[in-house]
Structure 1
């Protein structure tokens, strides 16, 4: 079956260790089958509102282009629709990571496993022994990092701390 890679996301404002499992989200790397076959349902279920609007705009644009070109180019429009759907399925998880980042989630770890359960287990085992990380959003103001650079679960502690 092979190993799958996941990014682990945690809310920036979540600092207590209570109920750690409820405060993380794992997002798989790679192709997303549900996003290929049920893109609108997948987007709405994931509450990706801006991406949903963009997806709807592209879908409507392809439909308008198809009706404007007429039946002579029906095959071309079908090919474009299929290619856009495949592209979306490849990019769906990256778009989910982007949406999570906009909602206050940051990447804290990258894990691999045969399935999601093993990846979660790997993250929590590593988190038990990891040095706590600091973030620019910490309540004590400790820890400075470059904007847009994720802090990865204590793997790169700041010098002098």
Structure 2
């Protein structure tokens, strides 16, 4: 099963027809053609950065001493885009005002669309409240940021 993120455009209501579904998984095409994959998904800045890093890696790969480092840089860039590419697309949409409406686990995109259409009644506007963790309700103690969780205010 794969996870599908459903994003709705700014100002749209839950269950909007313009919702965009992004599959959050490893992409083989992005592994072999990272720059083209990023351009296809309109991640312009990420595509330019990936192109620059891979061009640098190709230039370094010609050097007799640092050849493996250049190859590793190209491979690392491809692997990063293959693993984090869908997250880059979602982050780009969120910067433009889109919001994540649902996360659906399904075998394929058609099933995810069916689940989203059946679980969201059309025309009904719903607002989401902030998520409150059980630990925040029981403890009044303020927790300091720890282990990279900068700004984690809900507690443990």
Contact 1:4 1:29 (8 Å CA) reproduced: yes
> Residue in 1 aligned with 2:67?
74
Which whole-Å deviations, capped at 9, do the CAs of 1:96-130 have from their partners, x for residues lacking one? 11111122211000111110100111111110289
**What stretches of structure 1 of length at least 5 have no aligned partner?**
136-143, 147-161
1:26 to 16, 21, 26: 21
Cα distance, 1:16–1:26 mapped onto 2, change above 3 Å = closer
Give distance in 2, aligned partners of 1:104 and 1:32.
25
The secondary structure found in structure 2 opposite 1:109 is strand
Aligned to 2:120: 127
Q: Which of 37, 57, 61 lines up with 1:62 in the alignment? A: 57
TM-score, normalised with respect to structure 2: 0.71
> Does structure 2 retain, via aligned residues, the 8 Å contact 1:7–1:111?
yes
Q: How big is the alpha-carbon RMSD for the aligned residues of Structure 1 and Structure 2?
A: 2.7
Taking structure 1 as reference, are residues 72 and 16 closer, same or farther at Cα in structure 2, changes over 3 Å only?
closer
1:97 to 90, 93, 101: 90
- The reply to whether residue 8 of structure 1 matches residue 6 of structure 2 is yes
Contact 2:5 2:24 in 1 (8 A): yes
For structure 2, list consecutive stretches of 5 or more residues without a partner in the other structure: 132-156
If the length of structure 1 is used for normalisation, what is the TM-score? 0.69
Report runs of 4+ in structure 1 exceeding 6 Å deviation.
none
In the other structure, the counterpart of 2:36 is: 41
- CA-CA distance at 1:60 after TM superposition: 2.8
* Worse-superposed segment, 43-52 or 70-79: 70-79
